Structure formats: C-alpha cells, structure tokens
Amino acid sequence: MQKLYTVEDVANMISVTKRTIHTYLKEKTLQGRKVGGQWRFTEQDVKIFMDNDNYRKSHSDRIKQEISDFLDGVKEYTHDKKRGDIRTCTIIDVPDSEEFTDAKLKKFMEFIKFQSIIGGIGYTYLSYEYVYIEEEAKHRFMIFASPEHLIEVLQHLQ
C-alpha cells in the first residue's frame, strides 16, 4: 500500500504553510486526491510538484534571498531575552542513506518545526528552510537560530 501524505506533511517537507499548499492545489500546480474530505498526496505527487521548474526556481530564489538578507542584515530576528542577540545561519546537507530514513527525517522535521514555534508571540528561536536535492541525493536544511538552539538541532540530528 502506498503511503499518503497530508497537507501538513507536504507543507513541512517544502517549508511552506498549509495555506500555501491549498494555493498550489487551487492553481493546480500540486496534484492530490481527497480521501474522506481531506487532501492526500502520494510521494509521486510531491516529487512531480518539486520537479516543476517554476517551483524549483522560486524555492531556490527564496533560499538565496533568505541567506542574502541574513548576510546584509536586512532580516530582523526578534530579540530573545534568554539567549541573546547572536544569530547563526547554517546550511546542513544530509546524504540520503539507510541511516537517514523517512522516519528519522520526519522526526527531525517535527523537532525543528516545534523549535520554530515554541518562542511564542514576539520571540523567534529558530527558522528553517528544507529542500531535497534529488540529483545529489541529499536533504538540505538551512537553519537560522541562536547558537544554543543550533547546537540542539545538531545534537538532535545525530
């Protein structure tokens, strides 16, 4: 039986909101099917979407812009009174391997997603982007975080 992904799963995979996924569905740039009134996607649906040249260029441009904004000091991060003003921008490439299974990827994505929202209103502890680079068979994570949170992310990845 083929694994089906939810709107939230796909949103996490490509680092966008659930609302953006619904926009892609309306535009018919992302295909899926409704099961019990809820959208579901096969791995092939997600792969076709991510292989779309428009999506790849737009996602790549967004990541480059995030890094550029960080380097230029354009992007303001909320001050974290507990952890200070130091922010890091780190790119982590994880080869697709038997050690880095779908289950481990999902667990890691859940961890960094949780870390990105635990700050509550007015505090941003961590933000991230994720992309799978098929031609190089690797998962790429771009993490913006305090040094302390980055260490937690790296420890969780091991």
Q: What is the CATH number of the domain that holds 156?
A: 3.30.1370
Greatest Cα pair distance, the chain, in angstroms, is: 49
DSSP string of 71-126, one letter each residue: HHT-S----BTTTBS--EEEEEEEE--SSS-HHHHHHHHHHHHHHHHTT-TT---E
Residue 55 lies in a domain: no
More confident: 40 or 99: 40
Tens of pLDDT, residues 13-57:
777 778 888 988 998 889 999 999 999 999 889 888 887 877 777
Per the structure, the count of domains in the chain is: 1
Residue 29 lies in a domain: no
User: Which amino acid is it at 17?
Assistant: T
Q: Is the pTM of this model over 0.85?
A: no
